[in-house]
Amino acid sequence: MRLWADGDHPYTRPVPRAGVSSTSLAPGPLTEGPARLELLGIPVDRCTLPQALARCEATVTQQGAPLQVVTLNPEMVMQARRQPELAKAIRGAGLILPDGAGVVWACRRLGEPMPGWIAGADFLQELAEMAVKRGWSIFLLGGRPGVAEAAARALELAHPGLLVGGTWSGSPAAEEAAAICQRIRSSGARVLAVAFGVPQQDLWISRHLGQTGAKVGIGVGGSLDYLAGRVPRAPVALRKVGLEWSFRLARQPWRLPRMLRGAPFFWEAFRESRRRSRP
Protein backbone atom coordinates (compact mmCIF):
# COMPACT_ATOMS: atom_id res chain seq x y z
CA MET A 1 0.00 0.00 0.00
CA ARG A 2 1.38 3.39 -0.91
CA LEU A 3 1.41 6.01 1.85
CA TRP A 4 0.40 9.36 0.40
CA ALA A 5 2.09 12.56 1.50
CA ASP A 6 0.14 15.76 2.11
CA GLY A 7 -1.36 17.05 -1.13
CA ASP A 8 -0.10 14.07 -3.18
CA HIS A 9 -2.83 11.46 -2.84
CA PRO A 10 -4.81 10.51 -5.95
CA TYR A 11 -8.26 11.77 -5.02
CA THR A 12 -7.24 15.31 -4.11
CA ARG A 13 -8.66 17.79 -6.60
CA PRO A 14 -7.86 21.47 -6.97
CA VAL A 15 -10.65 23.42 -5.33
CA PRO A 16 -12.06 26.31 -7.38
CA ARG A 17 -12.31 29.67 -5.65
CA ALA A 18 -15.93 30.17 -4.84
CA GLY A 19 -17.52 33.63 -4.62
CA VAL A 20 -16.27 35.26 -2.44
CA SER A 21 -27.62 19.44 27.69
CA SER A 22 -24.43 17.53 26.36
CA THR A 23 -23.63 13.98 25.44
CA SER A 24 -20.21 12.68 26.41
CA LEU A 25 -18.57 10.67 23.67
CA ALA A 26 -15.80 8.19 24.33
CA PRO A 27 -15.75 5.76 21.41
CA GLY A 28 -12.11 4.96 22.14
CA PRO A 29 -9.10 4.57 19.90
CA LEU A 30 -8.87 2.80 16.57
CA THR A 31 -9.50 -0.88 17.12
CA GLU A 32 -7.74 -2.26 14.04
CA GLY A 33 -4.35 -1.55 12.55
CA PRO A 34 -3.12 1.85 13.76
CA ALA A 35 -1.73 2.27 17.26
CA ARG A 36 -2.52 5.14 19.59
CA LEU A 37 0.66 6.86 20.72
CA GLU A 38 1.41 9.40 23.43
CA LEU A 39 3.06 12.58 22.19
CA LEU A 40 4.16 14.73 25.13
CA GLY A 41 1.21 13.41 27.07
CA ILE A 42 -1.34 13.94 24.28
CA PRO A 43 -2.58 10.97 22.19
CA VAL A 44 -2.26 10.69 18.41
CA ASP A 45 -3.05 7.79 16.08
CA ARG A 46 -0.41 6.27 13.84
CA CYS A 47 -2.58 5.90 10.77
CA THR A 48 -2.49 6.18 7.02
CA LEU A 49 -5.02 8.08 4.95
CA PRO A 50 -6.78 4.86 3.78
CA GLN A 51 -7.03 3.63 7.38
CA ALA A 52 -8.51 6.93 8.57
CA LEU A 53 -11.08 6.96 5.77
CA ALA A 54 -11.96 3.32 6.44
CA ARG A 55 -12.63 4.17 10.09
CA CYS A 56 -14.99 6.98 9.05
CA GLU A 57 -16.77 4.76 6.55
CA ALA A 58 -17.24 1.99 9.09
CA THR A 59 -18.68 4.46 11.60
CA VAL A 60 -21.26 5.78 9.14
CA THR A 61 -22.32 2.40 7.81
CA GLN A 62 -22.41 0.49 11.09
CA GLN A 63 -24.39 1.01 14.26
CA GLY A 64 -22.54 2.48 17.21
CA ALA A 65 -21.26 5.68 18.72
CA PRO A 66 -20.47 8.63 16.44
CA LEU A 67 -16.84 9.34 15.65
CA GLN A 68 -15.04 12.55 16.63
CA VAL A 69 -12.03 13.29 14.42
CA VAL A 70 -9.30 15.57 15.78
CA THR A 71 -6.59 17.07 13.56
CA LEU A 72 -3.64 17.38 15.93
CA ASN A 73 -0.80 19.84 15.27
CA PRO A 74 2.05 21.10 17.51
CA GLU A 75 0.18 24.21 18.60
CA MET A 76 -2.78 22.09 19.65
CA VAL A 77 -0.55 19.72 21.61
CA MET A 78 0.84 22.59 23.67
CA GLN A 79 -2.61 24.11 24.13
CA ALA A 80 -3.99 20.78 25.36
CA ARG A 81 -1.16 20.50 27.90
CA ARG A 82 -2.31 23.82 29.36
CA GLN A 83 -6.06 23.13 29.12
CA PRO A 84 -7.24 19.89 30.75
CA GLU A 85 -10.69 20.16 29.16
CA LEU A 86 -9.19 20.19 25.66
CA ALA A 87 -6.87 17.30 26.54
CA LYS A 88 -9.89 15.31 27.75
CA ALA A 89 -11.79 16.01 24.52
CA ILE A 90 -8.82 14.88 22.42
CA ARG A 91 -8.35 11.76 24.49
CA GLY A 92 -12.02 10.87 24.04
CA ALA A 93 -11.93 11.25 20.25
CA GLY A 94 -12.11 8.11 18.16
CA LEU A 95 -9.62 9.29 15.54
CA ILE A 96 -6.71 11.68 16.11
CA LEU A 97 -4.92 12.56 12.88
CA PRO A 98 -1.27 13.68 12.79
CA ASP A 99 -1.82 17.06 11.13
CA GLY A 100 1.50 18.51 10.07
CA ALA A 101 5.17 17.76 9.62
CA GLY A 102 5.90 18.88 13.19
CA VAL A 103 3.90 16.03 14.69
CA VAL A 104 5.55 13.51 12.35
CA TRP A 105 9.02 14.86 13.20
CA ALA A 106 8.38 14.66 16.94
CA CYS A 107 7.05 11.10 16.77
CA ARG A 108 10.08 10.01 14.77
CA ARG A 109 12.38 11.78 17.23
CA LEU A 110 10.70 9.90 20.07
CA GLY A 111 11.15 6.56 18.34
CA GLU A 112 7.53 6.21 17.19
CA PRO A 113 7.69 6.94 13.44
CA MET A 114 4.53 7.94 11.59
CA PRO A 115 3.81 6.96 7.97
CA GLY A 116 3.16 10.63 7.17
CA TRP A 117 0.89 13.49 8.08
CA ILE A 118 -2.75 14.00 7.12
CA ALA A 119 -3.71 17.65 6.76
CA GLY A 120 -7.21 18.46 7.97
CA ALA A 121 -8.00 20.49 4.83
CA ASP A 122 -7.09 17.53 2.63
CA PHE A 123 -8.99 15.08 4.80
CA LEU A 124 -12.15 17.15 4.42
CA GLN A 125 -11.76 16.84 0.65
CA GLU A 126 -11.38 13.08 1.00
CA LEU A 127 -14.50 12.87 3.16
CA ALA A 128 -16.40 14.86 0.53
CA GLU A 129 -15.26 12.44 -2.19
CA MET A 130 -16.31 9.47 -0.06
CA ALA A 131 -19.65 11.16 0.66
CA VAL A 132 -20.33 11.42 -3.09
CA LYS A 133 -19.61 7.72 -3.60
CA ARG A 134 -21.69 6.62 -0.61
CA GLY A 135 -24.55 9.11 -0.97
CA TRP A 136 -23.88 10.81 2.36
CA SER A 137 -24.80 14.38 3.18
CA ILE A 138 -22.36 16.89 4.72
CA PHE A 139 -23.10 19.85 7.00
CA LEU A 140 -20.67 22.78 7.31
CA LEU A 141 -20.78 24.69 10.60
CA GLY A 142 -18.80 27.78 11.58
CA GLY A 143 -16.76 30.50 9.95
CA ARG A 144 -17.72 34.11 9.42
CA PRO A 145 -21.12 34.83 7.84
CA GLY A 146 -21.15 33.64 4.23
CA VAL A 147 -18.01 31.52 4.51
CA ALA A 148 -19.72 28.15 5.03
CA GLU A 149 -22.03 28.82 2.08
CA ALA A 150 -19.13 29.71 -0.22
CA ALA A 151 -17.17 26.69 1.00
CA ALA A 152 -20.15 24.46 0.24
CA ARG A 153 -20.32 25.78 -3.32
CA ALA A 154 -16.61 25.08 -3.76
CA LEU A 155 -16.97 21.53 -2.46
CA GLU A 156 -19.94 20.93 -4.78
CA LEU A 157 -17.89 22.12 -7.75
CA ALA A 158 -14.91 19.98 -6.80
CA HIS A 159 -17.04 16.90 -6.07
CA PRO A 160 -20.02 16.76 -8.47
CA GLY A 161 -22.98 15.08 -6.88
CA LEU A 162 -22.03 16.01 -3.32
CA LEU A 163 -25.04 16.47 -1.05
CA VAL A 164 -24.61 19.45 1.27
CA GLY A 165 -27.34 19.11 3.85
CA GLY A 166 -26.85 22.60 5.21
CA THR A 167 -24.53 25.38 6.28
CA TRP A 168 -24.58 27.67 9.28
CA SER A 169 -22.11 30.15 10.74
CA GLY A 170 -23.43 29.66 14.27
CA SER A 171 -21.17 29.98 17.29
CA PRO A 172 -19.83 27.73 20.05
CA ALA A 173 -21.93 29.58 22.65
CA ALA A 174 -23.76 27.15 24.93
CA GLU A 175 -27.08 28.93 24.47
CA GLU A 176 -27.01 28.25 20.72
CA ALA A 177 -26.17 24.55 20.95
CA ALA A 178 -29.73 23.18 21.02
CA ALA A 179 -30.81 25.14 17.95
CA ILE A 180 -27.67 24.20 16.03
CA CYS A 181 -28.04 20.51 16.89
CA GLN A 182 -31.67 20.59 15.76
CA ARG A 183 -30.70 22.22 12.46
CA ILE A 184 -28.05 19.58 11.78
CA ARG A 185 -30.31 16.72 12.84
CA SER A 186 -33.07 17.96 10.53
CA SER A 187 -30.63 18.07 7.59
CA GLY A 188 -29.92 14.34 7.84
CA ALA A 189 -26.18 14.98 7.44
CA ARG A 190 -23.89 12.04 8.13
CA VAL A 191 -20.68 14.11 8.23
CA LEU A 192 -20.31 17.34 10.21
CA ALA A 193 -17.39 19.74 9.67
CA VAL A 194 -17.02 22.37 12.41
CA ALA A 195 -14.91 25.50 11.96
CA PHE A 196 -15.01 27.25 15.33
CA GLY A 197 -11.24 27.16 15.80
CA VAL A 198 -9.25 25.38 18.50
CA PRO A 199 -10.26 24.62 21.21
CA GLN A 200 -13.90 25.62 20.67
CA GLN A 201 -14.60 23.31 17.73
CA ASP A 202 -13.19 20.20 19.41
CA LEU A 203 -14.94 20.91 22.70
CA TRP A 204 -18.22 21.54 20.85
CA ILE A 205 -17.99 18.27 18.94
CA SER A 206 -17.10 16.35 22.10
CA ARG A 207 -20.14 17.77 23.90
CA HIS A 208 -22.76 17.78 21.16
CA LEU A 209 -21.96 15.40 18.30
CA GLY A 210 -24.30 12.77 19.72
CA GLN A 211 -27.18 15.26 19.60
CA THR A 212 -26.71 16.21 15.93
CA GLY A 213 -27.49 12.87 14.32
CA ALA A 214 -24.22 13.05 12.36
CA LYS A 215 -21.98 9.99 12.53
CA VAL A 216 -18.62 11.70 11.89
CA GLY A 217 -17.69 15.10 13.32
CA ILE A 218 -14.39 16.77 12.46
CA GLY A 219 -12.89 20.10 13.51
CA VAL A 220 -11.63 21.80 10.34
CA GLY A 221 -10.27 25.13 11.62
CA GLY A 222 -9.51 27.47 8.72
CA SER A 223 -10.37 24.93 6.00
CA LEU A 224 -13.65 26.64 5.18
CA ASP A 225 -11.79 29.92 4.59
CA TYR A 226 -9.52 28.09 2.13
CA LEU A 227 -12.46 26.55 0.33
CA ALA A 228 -14.36 29.84 0.21
CA GLY A 229 -11.35 31.59 -1.34
CA ARG A 230 -11.09 33.99 1.59
CA VAL A 231 -7.58 32.80 2.50
CA PRO A 232 -5.13 31.33 -0.05
CA ARG A 233 -3.58 27.98 0.77
CA ALA A 234 0.13 27.27 0.39
CA PRO A 235 1.30 25.83 -2.95
CA VAL A 236 1.42 22.04 -3.05
CA ALA A 237 5.24 22.11 -3.25
CA LEU A 238 5.45 23.79 0.16
CA ARG A 239 2.83 21.49 1.65
CA LYS A 240 4.71 18.39 0.53
CA VAL A 241 7.85 19.41 2.43
CA GLY A 242 5.99 20.52 5.55
CA LEU A 243 6.39 24.29 5.10
CA GLU A 244 2.74 25.28 4.82
CA TRP A 245 3.13 27.12 8.13
CA SER A 246 5.69 29.51 6.60
CA PHE A 247 3.29 30.48 3.82
CA ARG A 248 0.49 31.09 6.31
CA LEU A 249 2.75 33.24 8.45
CA ALA A 250 3.86 35.30 5.46
CA ARG A 251 0.25 35.92 4.43
CA GLN A 252 -1.09 36.32 7.98
CA PRO A 253 1.67 37.81 10.18
CA TRP A 254 -0.85 38.23 13.00
CA ARG A 255 -0.51 34.45 13.49
CA LEU A 256 3.03 34.87 14.87
CA PRO A 257 2.01 35.01 18.57
CA ARG A 258 -0.03 31.83 18.11
CA MET A 259 2.86 30.06 16.44
CA LEU A 260 5.26 31.20 19.16
CA ARG A 261 2.98 29.65 21.76
CA GLY A 262 3.38 26.34 19.92
CA ALA A 263 7.14 26.68 19.39
CA PRO A 264 8.10 25.04 22.74
CA PHE A 265 6.64 21.84 21.32
CA PHE A 266 9.85 21.21 19.38
CA TRP A 267 12.10 21.86 22.37
CA GLU A 268 9.95 19.63 24.57
CA ALA A 269 10.06 16.83 21.99
CA PHE A 270 13.84 17.17 21.67
CA ARG A 271 14.30 17.17 25.44
CA GLU A 272 12.05 14.14 25.85
CA SER A 273 13.96 12.25 23.16
CA ARG A 274 17.24 12.99 24.94
CA ARG A 275 15.77 11.80 28.22
CA ARG A 276 14.62 8.53 26.63
CA SER A 277 18.03 7.94 25.03
CA ARG A 278 19.88 8.05 28.35
CA PRO A 279 21.03 4.66 29.64
pLDDT, tens digit, for every residue of 174-194? Answer: 999 999 999 999 999 999 999
| Distance separating alpha carbons of residues 190 and 57, to the nearest angstrom | 10
Cβ 114 vs Cβ 4: under 8 Å: no
Q: What pLDDT does 119 receive? A: 93
| Distance separating alpha carbons of residues 190 and 21, to the nearest angstrom | 21
| Distance separating alpha carbons of residues 56 and 49, to the nearest angstrom | 11
| Distance separating alpha carbons of residues 253 and 15, to the nearest angstrom | 24
Assign residue 200 a region: left if phi > 0, alpha if psi is -120 to 50, beta otherwise? alpha
Q: What pLDDT does 46 receive? A: 95
φ, ψ of residue 212 in degrees (nearest 5): -90, -20
Q: How many CA atoms lie within 13 A of 189 on its CB side?
A: 32
CA 126 → CA 52, 129, 145, 155, distances in Å?
A: 10, 5, 25, 11
Q: What pLDDT does 259 receive? A: 72
- pTM given for the model: 0.84
DSSP secondary structure of 65-89 = --EEEEEE-HHHHHHHHH-HHHHHH
> Crossing angle of helices 101-109/264-277, nearest 10°?
20
| Distance separating alpha carbons of residues 176 and 214, to the nearest angstrom | 18
Q: What pLDDT does 225 receive? A: 93
Which residues, in sequence order, are CB contacts of 230 under 8 Å at separation 6+? 20, 144, 147, 150
Q: What residue segments make up the domains of the chain, in order of their start? A: 36-274
Q: What pLDDT does 34 receive? A: 61
Rg, C-alpha atoms of the chain: 18
Q: What pLDDT does 254 receive? A: 67
Average pLDDT of each block of 10 consecutive residues along the chain (279 residues)? 34 32 36 76 96 96 92 96 97 96 94 93 96 98 96 97 96 96 98 97 98 98 92 77 73 72 89 86
Q: What pLDDT does 30 receive? A: 47
42-87 per-position pLDDT tens digit:
999 999 999 999 999 999 998 789 999 999 999 999 999 999 999 9
- Helix %, strand %, coil % of the chain (to 5): 50, 15, 35
